[in-house]
Every structure is written in structure tokens, then in C-alpha cells.
Amino acid sequence: AEAKLRQVQKMEAVGQLTGGIAHDFNNMLAVVLGGLELAKRHLHTGGPDAQQHIENAMEGANRAAALTRRLLAFSRSEPLLPEPVEAGGLIAGMSDLLDRTLGDTIAVKTRDAGTGWTVWVDRHQLENALLNLAVNARDAMEGRGTLTITTDGKTLVENEIGECPAGDYVLISVADTGCGMTPEVLDRVFEPFFTTKPVGKGTGLGLSQIFGFVRQSGGEIAIQTVPGSGTSVMVYLPRHLGEPAAAAVEAPMPVPQPA
Ligand code: ADP
């Protein structure tokens, strides 16, 4: 009965979300159409504002494209293109983006415990996942605090984290000094559409998407959180032990596992 209730609640959430997306998408289209309409008028009268209106329209279109990209990634119709990715290097390459995303009042620290932490994943999905975790951390810190991203190697025994097979993993941990989560929230964070954020701010797709990606990549994810003090999200991905690049490119795609 409990499971059934959950299922019903989930269907309700899907309905709400679909409505929410249609609403957001419509707003973005309104911006595009409004901008183009104004630009058209200004072209007629030779006014100087046409350029600005076109830029507004383009911004609206870009937002709409980003929304559909997120939905596509969530429904996993985007193919995964795994390749060897050195985690520390990837994170170092994101530092400008992270600084800009987190703003001036949040310190971003990256720590790389050694080097050579190579994983076999889709690079864009890993970047997206880390950016998503950083945005969640930012939201939890309300403008003040420290985000620490650490890369390290870790050998796990079977089922040490979730249902992981024994082996060598790369651990990427994303830790914030934010509000933390209550046990009730922690219990539900990986559910699609579960969010505590106001409408328009949260979709509740971030962590469930990351969960799907990590599982599909043969990894596991764990969260440690203390209400009022902060959260660490630990992403474990199987370590890729370097074979020649050419061989790596020809290696078959891992079979996607249902989450
Ligand atoms: P969204 O961010 O759109 O709400 P997520 O799936 O990424 O969707 O997160 C679900 C919920 O988990 C958030 O609404 C928030 O309550 C909680 N959460 C996620 N990350 C953190 C964090 N770093 N600190 C505190 N709470 C978090």
C-alpha cells in the first residue's frame, strides 16, 4: 500500500511537473515572439532598438533550448559517449565556470589528492553532474560559505557503498557549508521531481539525473549531511586504468543499466 501511495504521488508530481514545464516553456516562447515582434516594428521604422529586441528573443530561445536539453538528458534519450576522463583535470577546467556560478561571496576550493584519477564516462554528463551539485550547494549556502571539491582514489570492498562491486574507484566529493538536509529530505533526494525549492527554481531532477548517470557509469553515490552545518555528496566512479588511448577509443560502450 505504501509503494502504491508513493506511485500515485509520483504520478501527481509528473502531472504537476509537465504543467510547470509547459508553463515555463510558454513563457520563454512569449519572450521570443515578443522580441521578434518588436524587432520587426523597429525594422519598419528604422529604429535603433531592433538589435536589442533580437538579442532578447535569442536569450529566450536559448533558455528554451536549455530546458529541452535538460529534459532530454533526464529521459536519457541523449546517448552516452564514454571516454577516459582525468577527473582532477576536468574539475580544474571548470574552475572559472564554478567561480562565476557560485559568486564572489562563496569560496570554491579544489583538492586533488594525487593525479591520474581517470574514469571512463561521458565527459559532458560528468561536467553537468558536477555543475548541478555546485548549484545545489550554492542554493544551500544562501550566498555565503565554502564549496570544496576533492578528487581522490579509493578502493572499495563489495557493497561498501550502495551495491558497488569491489574494486578501485575515483571519489569526487562535493562538500558545502550550507543548510544540510533533514532525514526526511535525505530520504527522498534521488526521487525524480522531489524538490524543496520554490516553483521556477527547482525541478527536482538534478540529483535523480546524477544518480542515473553515476549508476549507468558503473558507480555509486552517497550523501553525508548535517542539518545546519553542511552536505557532502560523494560520487564514486570506477577507476579507469590507462590502456593506450587508441584501444580506449575502440572499447565498447558499457551497457546502460536501468536505475
Ligand atoms: P532541485 O535542486 O531542482 O530541487 P535536486 O534533485 O538537485 O533538485 O535536489 C532535490 C532536493 O534535495 C533539493 O530541493 C534540496 O532540498 C535537497 N538538496 C540537494 N542538494 C542539497 C545540498 N547540497 N544541501 C542541502 N539540500 C540539498
pLDDT along the chain (259 residues), means of 10: 64 63 80 91 81 91 82 65 94 91 92 90 90 94 95 95 93 98 95 83 85 90 97 97 54 53
Each residue's pLDDT tens digit, 182-198: 999 999 999 888 899 88
DSSP-assigned letter for residue 239: B
Ligand 1, from 189, 190, 226: best to mutate by most atoms within 8 Å of Cβ?
A: 189
Q: How high is the pLDDT of residue 227?
A: 97
Atom number of ligand 1 nearest to Cα 132: 7
Residue nearest to atom 11 of ligand 1 (CA): 195
- The atom number, within ligand 1, closest to the CA of 208 reads 6
C-beta of 178 in contact with ligand 1 (< 6 A)? yes
Residue 224: CB within 6 Å of ligand 1? no
Task: Name the residue among 141, 142, 132, 131 with its Cα closest to residue 177.
Answer: 141
Query: How far is 26 from 18, CA to CA, in rounded Å?
Result: 12
For residue 52, CA distances in Å to 25, 37, 49 come to 21, 12, 5
Q: How far apart are CA 121 and CA 236, in angstroms?
A: 12
**CB 61 within 8 Å of CB 28:** yes
Ligand 1 contact, 141 CB (< 6 A): no
Listed in sequence order, the residues at least 6 apart from 143 whose beta carbon sits closer than 8 Å to its beta carbon are 103, 105, 106
pLDDT in tens, 216-255: 899 999 999 999 999 999 999 999 987 644 444 444 555 5
The ligand 1 atom at the shortest distance from the C-alpha of residue 206 is 7
Whether 153 contacts 169, CB under 8 Å: yes
Atom of ligand 1 nearest to the CA of 180: 25
Dist. CA 10–CA 2, nearest whole Å: 12
**How many angstroms separate the alpha carbon of residue 176 from the centre of ligand 1?**
12
Would you state the pLDDT for residue 81?
85
